[in-house]
Amino acid sequence: MEINRRNFLRSAAIGTVGMAAIPEILSASMPTIKKKQKGILSSLKTGAVILFQGDSITDAGRERMKQQSNLAGSFGAGYAFLAASRLLCENPEKDFSIFNRGISGNKVYQLAERWQRDCFDLNPAVLSILIGVNDFWHKLDGKYDGTVEKYEQDYKQLLTLTRKMLPEIKLVIGEPFAVPETSAVNEKWFPDFDGYRAVAKKLAEEFEAEFIPYQTIFNEAVLRAPAKYWTGDGVHPSMAGCALMAEAWLKAVK
Amino acid sequence: MEINRRNFLRSAAIGTVGMAAIPEILSASMPTIKKKQKGILSSLKTGAVILFQGDSITDAGRERMKQQSNLAGSFGAGYAFLAASRLLCENPEKDFSIFNRGISGNKVYQLAERWQRDCFDLNPAVLSILIGVNDFWHKLDGKYDGTVEKYEQDYKQLLTLTRKMLPEIKLVIGEPFAVPETSAVNEKWFPDFDGYRAVAKKLAEEFEAEFIPYQTIFNEAVLRAPAKYWTGDGVHPSMAGCALMAEAWLKAVK
């Protein structure tokens, strides 16, 4: 685990306050990522559909009645709203339709149950998925009996079906993350949780998805402010954490 | 009014699609603004309080029970959430406390009624106000009988009191805006509405506030996509419009 490394680096990093935090954090955590799909954004046609999928981190309190594209209420107040708003603002000529269909508490098998309605029916050109923390967390607190093997199997099945149904789709896979020294994430999470992160990374490579290393990004962020500044419970990002995720997402698709 | 100028420029601007929209729009609409307070952001102490105030555009569906600082739910999904999230992410060492206390439907006199609780009690180092569209709109639809003179008088009184109570406060005043060729804004709004914009600008100069020319910004934006792309009803910004406002706000305070 990164705890020792982080504490060591935090002491070493005291001199960095006042520097531009976002570019610094992202250049430290994202430059080594091999881009599978150069410039997803520039490959998109006018009117392309972009879909955010996941659990509560993506859901972010969105209303689920209308579920419209490009509508603030339908996005909630999280990283998806931040990233989508910027995409729409920066690319007015593209006339993108961007949807958020994350649902709180979802594990990967629950995405599969609603995949026709909440993915295929929208015919997305880009699909961004962030899923996995509940596959582990709900097991830890006795609400679920899935294993990391089931997570991998379910996730692989979902991606295989997605590639079959939408052969041209551009995939973005976010690394599940858990930040220690917060209200919900403690030493019980590790090293088991790292297995879920590894699965997401492995599947991103296998399915030629753009991978966003959120765990690495948060590990860098906690060198600049306490963990709770970025995420109170270690799972759900604060406003600062949401903005950091959105910047990483935008960097990944550009 | 800008309608004729805009239609003319829209035709002339067809060649601009695909360019980076945000910097282009902002450099066209904001560079002539004389900065009254060089680098508001860099002047702030650690732990400084930043307060967003206004009407529904600022409120953006926030929950009003907890009204906490730096909390997504307490911000709603609008320009204040976008700007504040970025500020918090980019300045982790500053440990800012950022509040949103905009309330839907508010006119300037209604800010005054709740100013002790929703401004002075928070002791802000920065106060950002966007108010005025309802002072005009509610008059137009018969729900209010205030005039542009009353708007000026009320606004000036509010700012005078604010300067008296908080002599060191940094002020940011947003230009009220109304975008034609949308569902709610039509020719009946002009030229009368322009008087409210002029008052906000005049008071910004008088009180040495940073002025954000949102009307000019939206006038530039509609050269790049139809008005409804930026704001469906001409008053409430879309996600793209919110992002544009947030970028302008950040540019103004940096």
Separation of alpha carbons A243 and A218, rounded Å: 12
Which residue of chain A comes nearest to B23, CA vs CA?
Answer: A90
Mean pLDDT of B14-29: 66
Mean pLDDT of chain B: 91
Fold of B38-253: Rossmann fold (3.40.50)
Report the share of chain A in percent with pLDDT over 90: 82
Q: Which pairs from A159-164 meet CB under 8 Å and 24+ separation?
A: A159/A203, A159/A206, A159/A207, A159/A209, A161/A112, A161/A115, A162/A115, A162/A119, A162/A127, A163/A207
- What residues are paired with B52 via a beta bridge? B100, B128
Q: Distance from CA of residue A78 to its chain's centroid?
A: 11
Name chain B contacts of A89, Cβ cutoff 8 Å: 21-22, 239-241, 243-244, 247
Mean pLDDT of B166-172: 97
Q: In what order do the strands lie in the sheet with A210-212?
A: A97-100, A49-54, A126-130, A170-174, A210-212
pLDDT at res. A35 = 55
CATH of domain A3-11+41-132+164-198+207-253: 3.40.50.1110
Nearest CB among A93, A221, A242 relative to B85 is that of A242
Nearest CB among B60, B70, B92 relative to A21 is that of B92
Please, which residues have CB within 8 angstroms of residue B29's CB and are 6 or more apart in sequence? B213, B216, B217, B219, B220, B248
pLDDT at res. B16 = 38
Q: What is the pLDDT of residues A99-151, one digit of tens each?
A: 999 999 999 999 999 999 999 999 999 999 999 999 999 999 899 999 999 99
Mean pLDDT of A81-104: 97
Which of A132-136, B1-5, B212-216 is predicted least confidently? Answer: B1-5
Q: Taking the domains of chain A in order of start, what are their residue ranges?
A: 3-11+41-132+164-198+207-253
Nearest CB among A17, A84, A246 relative to B239 is that of A84
Cβ–Cβ < 8 Å for A247, A22: yes
- Name the CA radius of gyration of chain A, rounded: 17
Separation of alpha carbons A253 and A39, rounded Å: 6
Mean pLDDT of A81-106: 97
Q: What is the pLDDT of residues A11-68, one digit of tens each?
A: 344 333 344 788 888 888 886 555 555 689 999 999 999 999 999 999 999 999 889 9
pLDDT at res. B39 = 85
Q: In this predicted complex, what is the ipTM?
A: 0.90
Give the B-side interface with A, CB within 8 Å: 17-18, 20-22, 60-61, 70-73, 75-78, 81-82, 84-86, 88-93, 95, 98, 221, 224-225, 229-230, 238-244, 246-247
